[in-house]
Amino acid sequence: MLENDLSSKNYHQATKHSYLSVQLDPNYVDSKTQPSAFKQYPKFYRRVQLNINHPIHSLIYLTGAITLEKAYKDVAFKLRVNPSAGGLYPTEIYVQIRGMPEIVDGIYHLEVENNCLTLIYELIDDGLESYIIQSKCIKGVIFLISCVYYRSSWKYKNRSLRYCFLDSGHHLGTIAASAYLHDKDIQLIFDFDKLALNTDLGFENKEFVTACVVCGEVEEKNVRRLRLKVPFVCGTDYFEANQFIEDGYQVTALQKSSKQQLEHPKFEFDKDKFYQTVWHRRSNRRFRKQLISQEDYFKILQQLKQPIPTESCEAIKVYSVVHRVEGISPGLYQDNHLIKSGDFSEHTGYLCINQGIARDCAVTLFFVSDYTNYQTAMQLAGFLGHRVYLSSNYLGIQCSGIGAFYDDETQSFLETTKDILYAMAIGI
């Protein structure tokens, strides 16, 4: 376990960037050594090819689909519906299906590369419910998000746990988007026995559960824990352990989140247009320093205020550094309140490790929180970040997530003592 001085909020402190830390460790990597980004179980496991004309298949398919393949310097990249820091994709999805026609009751791994479900565990009177929601049985689907952390730590080292949690939040966002398109209500669950589930799913120290999503009918019924352990399969072709990340995960997995009443969002997107938005979502790498309309900007902010369907509550505040919005004076805002006026585009670019996207965009958003559960807060920041992606792209506005920034200097600029969890750039 981590030492006491690295528990809870101090984990965030231990992974902060500063101008000096970035200069001392520029973090160059050899791309030829990148670990595999796709997990596959042995070929003799039973598989179900996903059929997008089948409603349950379609719901699952859209949570992890490959939407574009391209080559860069003779290396093939497979881009997905979910964004990921550095395009490293540490997250995996497991799906428990119960009581669905034509599908065997079981726990499946979503094999993204081959567009299929791999049956890794057949259910009898057991299941994931006993780890997640006591004395309940779900007729429908339970999505389980996990992280194969070495895919990210290979490049980002200790700070990669931030990216794993943010990427998990984005993956939760893809599930929420697919549920919306399929007219399904869902509930995100963050507080459950993750450590026991890691053990019984055979993850060893190489993969860890971060969150789950319940989508189905809830019945009052006891379901026992998995009667057998799932055989271990590594999610990368090779692995290097990082004790700091493993300990940090365990500490944050044991914290309890704040609570709220479950409330579902009420979106009013055109479904066909929203589907195309989900499918064509991309991370923009260059902005042209153009204005966006005030109406579109406020629409994006309004989507962030829609309820998140979970009983776990970690309040996320959003600060906006407005650079180029019609009818709004440049400056730093929290909601619609002007904190300080001025053109801060150059300074914002500097704060985000001299990234041009934070300088040239229309607005740079910063998500901050004074959390009780760090793991939940980071995932909620990623979840909200995914809303920014989809609501921006829906309006024809480009977007990019930014996980790297000078933490203390950004806090000082925002005039807050809360931790900076994430940044987003939107614009044209």
- Could you tell me the residue ranges of all domains in the chain? 4-254, 273-427
* Per-residue DSSP letter, 112: G
Residue type, 334: Q
The rounded distance, in Å, linking the Cα atoms of 371 and 420 is: 11
Coil, strand or helix: which one is 198?
helix
Sheet of 47-49, strand order:
47-49, 116-122, 106-111, 91-98, 136-147, 208-220, 187-189
Q: What sign results for the dihedral spanned by CA atoms 238, 244, 249, 251?
A: positive
**Tens-place pLDDT, residues 401-425:** 999 999 999 999 999 999 999 999 9
CB 97 within 8 A of CB 56: yes
pLDDT tier at 8, thresholds 50, 70, 90: low
Same fold? 4-254, 273-427: yes
CB 355 within 8 A of CB 362: no
Predicted TM-score (pTM) of this structure:
0.97
Residue listed under structure tokens 């977007």:
399
**Tens-place pLDDT, residues 54-90:** 999 999 999 999 999 988 777 778 999 999 999 999 9
Residue listed under structure tokens 């395009």:
87
Coil, strand or helix: which one is 281?
coil
Pick the CATH number of 273-427 from 3.40.109.10, 3.50.50.60, 1.10.3720.10, 3.40.640.10: 3.40.109.10
Phi/psi-derived region of residue 90, left when phi > 0, alpha when psi is between -120 and 50, beta in every other case: alpha
The rounded distance, in Å, linking the Cα atoms of 353 and 423 is: 12
Coil, strand or helix: which one is 426?
strand
Mean pLDDT of 365-386: 97
**Segments of 41-156 assigned E as strands:** 47-49, 66-72, 75-80, 91-98, 106-111, 116-122, 136-147
CB 80 within 8 A of CB 111: no
The rounded distance, in Å, linking the Cα atoms of 118 and 123 is: 14
> Based on the number of CB atoms within 10 Å of its own CB, is 378 exposed (0-12), middle (13-18) or buried (19 or more)?
buried
The rounded distance, in Å, linking the Cα atoms of 169 and 337 is: 27
The rounded distance, in Å, linking the Cα atoms of 230 and 312 is: 29
Predicted local confidence at residue 9, as pLDDT: 81
CB 251 within 8 A of CB 7: yes
Q: Of 21-25, 122-126, 212-216, 284-288, which gets the smallest average pLDDT? A: 21-25
Chain centroid to Cα 231, Å, comes to 26
Predicted local confidence at residue 137, as pLDDT: 98
Do strands 317-322 and 187-189 pair parallel, antiparallel, or not at all (unpaired)? Answer: unpaired
Cα–Cα distance list, 310 to 12, 35, 185, 383, 390 (Å): 24, 34, 11, 12, 20
Predicted local confidence at residue 24, as pLDDT: 86
Predicted local confidence at residue 373, as pLDDT: 95
CB 90 within 8 A of CB 169: no
Token reading at 343: 């053109």
Residue type, 203: F
Question: Is pLDDT of 187 > 70?
Answer: yes
Rg of the Cα trace of the chain?
21
Architecture of domain 4-254: 3-Layer(aba) Sandwich (3.40)
Angle between helices 160-181 and 271-280 (to 10 degrees): 150
Question: Is pLDDT of 10 > 90?
Answer: no
* Per-residue DSSP letter, 364: E
Question: Is pLDDT of 106 > 80?
Answer: yes
Predicted local confidence at residue 7, as pLDDT: 60
Coil, strand or helix: which one is 373?
coil
Token reading at 21: 């830390």
Question: Is pLDDT of 244 > 70?
Answer: yes
Cα–Cα distance list, 352 to 29, 52, 360 (Å): 20, 40, 12
The rounded distance, in Å, linking the Cα atoms of 57 and 44 is: 21
Query: Which residue, among 169, 159, 151, has the nearest Cα to 404 in the 3D structure?
Result: 159
Mean pLDDT of 145-150: 98
